[in-house]
Each structure stands twice: as C-alpha cells, then as structure tokens.
Amino acid sequence: MSEAYAAPDPKELRDHQVDGPELTTRLARTWGTKRGLIGALSTVDHKIIGRRYIVTAFLFLFLGGLAAAAMRLQLARPESRLIGPDLYNQLFTMHGTTMMFLFAVPVMEAFAVYLVPLMLGTRNIAFPRLNAFSYYVYVFGGLMIWVAFMLNIGADVGWFAYVPLSGPEFSPGKRADIWAQMITFTEVSALAVAVEIVVTVPKQRAPGMTLDRIPLFVWSVFVTSFLIIFAMPAVMLASTFLILDRLIGTHIFNPAEGGDALLWQHLFWFFGHPEVYIIFLPATGMVSAIITTFSRRKTFGYLALVLSLIATGFLSFGLWVHHMFTTGLPQLGASFFTASSMMIAIPNGIQIFCWIATLWDGRPVFRTPLLFVLGFFFIFVAGGLSGIMLASVPLDTQVHDTYFVVAHFHYVLIGGAVFPLLGAVYYWYPKIVGRLMDERIGRWHFWLAFVGFNLAFFPMHITGLMGMPRRVYTYQHEMGWDNLNLLSSVGALVFFLSFVVFLWNVITSARKGAVAGDNPWQAGTLEWATSSPPPPQNFDRIPVVTNREPLWAERETLSVAAGLSVDNRELIVSTVSEARADLRESSPEPSVWPFIAAVATGITFIGSIFTPWAAVWGSLIVGVTLIAWFWPKGAKEDEK
C-alpha cells in the first residue's frame, strides 16, 4: 500500500518527544477502534479480533459438545430409539467437523492472533485487514454448516467424507455439497491467519529478540503456521474436486471413468494427520509457557524443545498413510509408515522430558493453569500409548473402526489440546479481561473435567477391544456392551458439567474476580509488560529485549526503542535473525471492506452449492470488494 512508503513528515510527533499520560492517550487515539457498529466491523485491532475469535471458537465447542451429548444419550442404553440412524449420521458428522474445523484449529489460531503481537512486543499483527477478513470468513463458514443442520440438510458423511459415499451416486441432495464448500471456505480463513503469523514472527519482533529469545508459544504457532500452509491446501483441493464431481459431473474420484477413489483418502489424510499436530503443537506452546511461569524457572532445554517442534512438524507429514492401513496398500509402504508413526514418539518424549525437568528443578506453584497441565501429562501419555499400539499394522487391522480408535483420538485431542487450552484460559484470562478467574471454582472445574473425561473415554478402549464398531447409532443387548456404554455416558455428563462450572467461572470472574494488575503470575515474557487488558497500542514504547524472559531479567527497567510516530500507525520492522530494528512501517487503518469482502465471498460459496455460475459472478463481486479494500487512501500524502 502506498501509504506505507509515504515519506515521514519531519514535523510529525515522535514518541520520544512526549511522555507519560499524554503519550498514552495520543497513541490510544491513533490505534483505537471507533465506537458503534461500523467501528466494530472495521476494527483491525488484533486483540479485539483475537478475543472474538476465542469466544466464537468456544461457542462452536459448545455446539459440537451438544452433538456429542446427543450421541452419548442415544448410546447410553442398548437398542435405544431416541435418535434414528439418519440424525445420528448427521450428529457425528457435525460433531467431528465442528470440533476439528470450527473449534480446535481456530481456537489455537485465535490465541495466536491475540498473543503473538504482545509476546513479540509489536503493535499489531502483519496484514491486520486480512486478519479481520479471516475472522468473518470463519464465522460465516461455521454458521453456514450449522444453519444447514438446523434445516435438516446437515452433512452426514463423516468429517472425513470418504468417497464414493460422499460422491454424487451415494449422497444425492445438497448435504455433501454444503459440507464440501464449507470446508474449502473455512480453510481460507485458517490459511490467512497462518500467513499473517509466518510474516509477523520473523519481521516484527521487538529489537533484540533474537531467534533464541522467542517465547516457546510463539515458536509453536510459527511452526504450526507452516503446517497449515502445507496441509490445508490438500483438503481444499480434495473438497473442490468433490464439489466438481458432484456439481458438474467430473469423475475425479470415480474409478469406473478412470478416476481414483483412493486419491480422496490420500489428499484427506495428507491434511488430516498434520491436522492433529496443528492442534497439538500450539497446545505444547501453552504448556511450556505455563510450566515456565509456575515453576519460576527458565525452561529446561529450550533448544531441544524448539527442535522437537520442528521435527514433529516434519514427521507429521510422513504419517498420513497410517490412517489407511486397511485399504490394502503395498507391504513395504505400510512398514515404512509404521516406523515413522512410531518415530514421532521421540520428539514428543523429549518435550515431556524437558517439561518434567523444568518442574523438577523449579519451585512449582500449583495454581489452576498448572493443574490442567498435569492433567494433560497424564491423559496425553495414555493417548500416546494407545497410539503406539495403533501404529502397528496387525493391531490396527484388529481394532480398525472400533471404539478403541474413538478412545485413542479423544485421549490425544482432549488430553493433548483441550486440557492445555483450558489451562491457557486460566493463565491468560487476567491479561485479556483484567481480572483473575476464581481459584476455588477452577479446582472444581479441573477435577470434574479430569474424572469425567476418564470415565467417559477409558471404557471405550474396552468396548472397542470387545468389538463395538464406531459410527453405529445403536447396539444389541446380547453383545454385552451395556454397562461400559452407560459408564461412558455418565462420564460424558460429568465432563459437560465441568464446562458449565467453567462457563460460570468465566462469566462471574469478569465482574467479580480480583483485579489482575499487569503481571499477576510474575511471568517473564513481554505480554505481561503492558497493562491488563492492554491498550490499543499494546505498548507506549516498544521494549528492547536482552533476555529470553525480559521481565525476570530487568523487571522495572526494560529499555525501550524510541522514534515511532505518535499520530500515525507505525511499527518497527526488524531483521530476521538478530531482530535489529530495520525500518518503520505504517500498519493499515481500520476498514469495513474486509467485512464486506467476507460477505461477498460467503455469498459466492453458498451460491456455488446451487450453480457453478455463482463462482464466476461471485468472483467478480469479490474482486470489486478487494479493489475497494486495497484502494490507496494515502495517495494524497504521496503528492506532498
């Protein structure tokens, strides 16, 4: 954008020329968000967008949880007639799709959008308008699939939508079309956020934040963003092929016409396996942050942790075939993927070792965030063990598509991601809201969640070994699975109850919690160097970093960089490895066009479910909104 290159006005006010409250109010005016609906829709503040993102993702968790509750209610008794097979198919599809596409990935990106600029000591994320756009796209995509479900045209082909079942022959009607377009659509949003992070992390770090001083949470979302950039296009390609097969009669997945049904599975799992790590890696970043702060000690093995993140990222792409062991692949290939599936246990093991060493060596303070991390250890290790069992072809062949698998991946997903995430909410809530969450209710929440979770999912290992297949809406009394299923359902109920307690804590603490102050946990990283909640400009002056935990090293005397404009949105662009301040660049102003562009994109995608021409006309409209979005407002200044 041209305004970025406008020559600085020598008369303009810089931040070393004003001080104290005047500096704060002037910067807040420059970076603030306008009041009213238009202001809310055009904001580009990463904190406002991040907060919305987090809340929206938790709303989708609630919807996905409702679907799970309905399933568990149905499965509580044998031969139950509560829910028929058709609705059950929709329920597990909605549950899986919502949890994976609308909750787990977005919530991690949401935390990144909120935290990364604060942790890096900068004033906004790179491409703030794209950030706004991606949030709206995410909301519209999620709404689209849930509205379809309410209208009884919900997807019913599973979150993996295997062809030919999801193809035109076996899934007539609009259900699979809606699913396919929603996937492509929401992944646009995931990709956009990944791109923002991949640029923000190397280029916008506070002066002095060299590569080995980047907080581990930032490293984790940085690596994750690359996984998103490489993995998501595979599933977008797959869903686009699917809609082409369904809508305009191509035969990409149709073997009878020279297509290939297995291609779907390869594309889907090339995305689907890294997906697990897209969810899990940011969670490890959260774990590292919490462990370091609450054991009051520098993270043990920082370099080993960073390298494990990167190694996990690479390895996760070599594993997709273990989801396809029963499709009759060549023997040698299967052996290779077995070996690499087991190999991924190595970096995971290293991470766990470093965390335990940090705790061991420190003086751990057992507050709620740390409790959730300990719960994570326990559940995740159990999930890892059943995973190693599944990585072997003979066992996988036995328990393939049974509840053993359901048990395994809930251990990994909930233990590996949801527990750290809940810890992260307790940990960063005071920064975001300005008040602490209640500790006593937090403990209740943790124990209900921990007990409920294990009660719900541990018995599924056994029902699975006893042969209960997944994705069945009922079973017969003669099979002998009654008691275990009832136990699972009761456990699920307790688990849900824990979320009610959680919600209660979140809501009441916003008004009645203890006022947090800047740094209630005495943490070491930069997000705690500003007030809680942070002002629109994040920092009055950009900190200069000489240490991995700057707030531990020089508590009161953090030095600062000076020279940024007070009345224009300027931020520091730094060099990639040494993070030397390189140049000043202006960050885009608020604009309502990303919102309008998202609406136009949404209409295009919905239209294309009904006619391929919508893609053509829609693109034209989207093009117009993009022109308005990028229209150079700074042209006037250039002329000066």
Give the residues lining the site for ligand HEM (CB under 6 A): 65, 68, 71-72, 92-93, 95-96, 99-100, 104, 158-159, 406, 410, 413-414, 418, 456, 470-471, 492, 495
Which class for 229: exposed (0-12), middle (13-18), buried (19 or more C-beta within 10 A)? middle
- Residue 104's binding partner out of ligand HEM, Cu ion, none, with CB under 5 to 8 Å set by partner kind: ligand HEM
Q: Which is nearer to Cu ion, 333 or 612 (CB)?
A: 333
- Residue 100's binding partner out of Cu ion, ligand HEM, none, with CB under 5 to 8 Å set by partner kind: ligand HEM
Cβ 58 to ligand HEM shortest distance, Å: 11
- Residue 580's binding partner out of Cu ion, ligand HEM, none, with CB under 5 to 8 Å set by partner kind: none
Q: Are 14 and 566 in contact (CB under 8 A)?
A: yes
* C-alpha to C-alpha distance for 582 and 204, rounded to whole angstroms: 10
Which residue number has the CB closest to ligand HEM?
A: 96
Cβ 255 to ligand HEM shortest distance, Å: 24
- Residue 159's binding partner out of ligand HEM, Cu ion, none, with CB under 5 to 8 Å set by partner kind: ligand HEM
Helix/strand/coil for 638:
helix
Q: Which is nearer to ligand HEM, 16 or 470 (CB)?
A: 470
Q: Which is nearer to ligand HEM, 473 or 629 (CB)?
A: 473
* C-alpha to C-alpha distance for 56 and 277, rounded to whole angstroms: 22
As a whole number of Å, the end-to-end CA separation of the chain is 17
Of 5-13, 267-275, 290-298, 551-559, the window that binds Cu ion (rule: CB under 5 A) is: 267-275
Cβ 273 to Cu ion shortest distance, Å: 4
Which residue number has the CB closest to Cu ion?
A: 273
Of 33-41, 79-87, 265-273, 546-554, the window that binds Cu ion (rule: CB under 5 A) is: 265-273
Q: How many CB atoms lie within 10 A of CB 536?
A: 17
Nearest to 329 by CA among 397, 423, 422: 397
Cβ 179 to ligand HEM shortest distance, Å: 11
Q: Which is nearer to Cu ion, 108 or 405 (CB)?
A: 405
- Residue 636's binding partner out of Cu ion, ligand HEM, none, with CB under 5 to 8 Å set by partner kind: none
- Reported as type and span, the H/E element at residue 275 is helix 261-295
Q: Are 12 and 565 in contact (CB under 8 A)?
A: yes
Q: Which is nearer to ligand HEM, 62 or 444 (CB)?
A: 62
Cβ 69 to ligand HEM shortest distance, Å: 7
Structure tokens at 560: 């600062």
Pairing verdict, β 560-561 and 570-574: unpaired
Q: Which is nearer to ligand HEM, 102 or 545 (CB)?
A: 102
Q: Are 18 and 563 in contact (CB under 8 A)?
A: no
Cβ 425 to ligand HEM shortest distance, Å: 14
- Residue 455's binding partner out of Cu ion, ligand HEM, none, with CB under 5 to 8 Å set by partner kind: none
Q: Are 109 and 115 in contact (CB under 8 A)?
A: no
Structure tokens at 200: 């923000």
Structure tokens at 17: 């020329």
Cβ 16 to Cu ion shortest distance, Å: 53
- Residue 456's binding partner out of Cu ion, ligand HEM, none, with CB under 5 to 8 Å set by partner kind: ligand HEM
Q: Which is nearer to ligand HEM, 111 or 593 (CB)?
A: 111
Q: Which is nearer to Cu ion, 104 or 125 (CB)?
A: 104
Cβ 231 to Cu ion shortest distance, Å: 12
Structure tokens at 312: 């996990």
- Residue 247's binding partner out of ligand HEM, Cu ion, none, with CB under 5 to 8 Å set by partner kind: none
**Residue that is written with structure tokens 């919600």 in the block:** 503
Cβ 21 to Cu ion shortest distance, Å: 54
Amino acid identity of 587? S
Cβ 551 to ligand HEM shortest distance, Å: 33
Q: Are 128 and 40 in contact (CB under 8 A)?
A: no
- Reported as type and span, the H/E element at residue 572 is strand 570-574
Cβ 314 to ligand HEM shortest distance, Å: 23
Which class for 387: exposed (0-12), middle (13-18), buried (19 or more C-beta within 10 A)? buried
- Reported as type and span, the H/E element at residue 585 is strand 581-586
- Residue 185's binding partner out of Cu ion, ligand HEM, none, with CB under 5 to 8 Å set by partner kind: none
- Residue 65's binding partner out of Cu ion, ligand HEM, none, with CB under 5 to 8 Å set by partner kind: ligand HEM
Nearest to 61 by CA among 596, 552, 500, 583: 500
Cβ 163 to Cu ion shortest distance, Å: 19
Q: Which is nearer to ligand HEM, 294 or 404 (CB)?
A: 404
Q: Which is nearer to Cu ion, 146 or 269 (CB)?
A: 269
- The 3-state secondary structure of 204-250, one letter per residue: CCCCCCCHHHCCHHHHHHHHHHHHHHHHHHHHHHHHHHHHHHHHCCC
Cβ 135 to Cu ion shortest distance, Å: 29
Q: Which is nearer to ligand HEM, 504 or 552 (CB)?
A: 504
Q: Which is nearer to ligand HEM, 429 or 495 (CB)?
A: 495
273 binds Cu ion (CB under 5 A): yes
* C-alpha to C-alpha distance for 346 and 307, rounded to whole angstroms: 12
Q: Which residues contact 329 (CB under 8 A, 6 or more apart)?
A: 321
Which class for 21: exposed (0-12), middle (13-18), buried (19 or more C-beta within 10 A)? exposed
Structure tokens at 559: 């030095």
* C-alpha to C-alpha distance for 436 and 427, rounded to whole angstroms: 9
Structure tokens at 51: 């907060």
Torsion over CA: 138, 139, 141, 146 (sign): positive
Cα angle vertex 309, ends 223, 337, to 5°? 100
Cβ 438 to ligand HEM shortest distance, Å: 23
Cβ 273 to ligand HEM shortest distance, Å: 13
Binding track, positions 223-262, relative to Cu ion; x by CB under 5 A: ----------------------------------------
* C-alpha to C-alpha distance for 213 and 223, rounded to whole angstroms: 16
Q: Which is nearer to ligand HEM, 93 or 625 (CB)?
A: 93
* C-alpha to C-alpha distance for 538 and 536, rounded to whole angstroms: 5
- Residue 633's binding partner out of Cu ion, ligand HEM, none, with CB under 5 to 8 Å set by partner kind: none
- Residue 92's binding partner out of Cu ion, ligand HEM, none, with CB under 5 to 8 Å set by partner kind: ligand HEM
408 binds Cu ion (CB under 5 A): no
Of 221-229, 270-278, 578-586, 610-618, the window that binds Cu ion (rule: CB under 5 A) is: 270-278
Q: Which residues contact 519 (CB under 8 A, 6 or more apart)?
A: 528, 529, 551
- Residue 273's binding partner out of Cu ion, ligand HEM, none, with CB under 5 to 8 Å set by partner kind: Cu ion
Residues in contact with Cu ion by the rule CB under 5 A = 273
